[in-house]
Amino acid sequence: MKAIVIFGSTTGNTEEVANYVGNGLREAGHEVLVKNVTEATPQEMTGYDIVVLGSSTWNEGLLQDDFVPFYEQMTGISLAGKKAAAFGCGESIYEHYCAAVDTLANKLKELGAEVVGTPFKVDGDIGPHLQEAQAWGKSLVTA
């Protein structure tokens, strides 16, 4: 099976988490492409069995800047029959903690994907959560 992990990252944290999620999917036996949202198109998602989207949360619960145009172009894409999941980085000290993750999960559902597992939210420093991100990626296959 084929999986794609598309991420938007400003500081590099979400990119690093995306790579660990991808490693987890590979451990589960999937062919995986990890791709920056600036180099991806929404249509690409239709060619994969599992679609995983990741964005950090900014300001009042907004998607990472690079992810906004991609998100706006997702309208009309059908992900029916696909498994999907969302992840991202944020800080729980803010009112809209990891709201971008929920925005992505809701959009995936809206496009007909079966959202599996619990969205993965990283609070603050990513270091202690990287192995957990890898395990989460691996768990998406059996979810």
Residue 143: what pLDDT?
67
Res. 4: pLDDT tops 80: yes
CA distances from 40 to 35, 45, 110, 126 (A): 7, 9, 20, 24
Tokens of 95: 């009112």
Q: Can you give the pTM of this predicted structure? A: 0.95
- H or E element that contains 27: helix 13-27
Mean pLDDT of 6-15: 94
The pLDDT of residue 126: 84
Give tens-digit pLDDT for 78-122: 999 999 999 999 988 888 899 999 999 999 999 999 999 899 999
**Lowest model confidence (mean pLDDT) among 26-30, 63-67, 121-125, 139-143:** 139-143
What pLDDT, on a 0 to 100 scale, did the predictor assign at position 95? 85
β-partners of residue 90 are 123
DSSP 39: G
Average pLDDT, rounded, for the chain: 94
CA distance 118 to 29: 21
Contact residues for 137 (Cβ-Cβ < 8 A; gap 6+): 5, 20, 21, 22, 23, 24, 25, 27, 28, 52
The answer, yes or no, to whether residue 61 has pLDDT greater than 90, is no
Rounded CA separation 55/7 (Å): 6
Q: What percent of the chain has pLDDT over 90?
A: 83
Q: State the average pLDDT over residues 24-30.
A: 95
| Burial of 65: CB neighbours in 10 Å, binned 0-12, 13-18, 19+ | middle
Closest C-alpha to 73, from 37, 102, 48: 37
CATH superfamily for 2-135 is Flavodoxin domain (3.40.50.360)
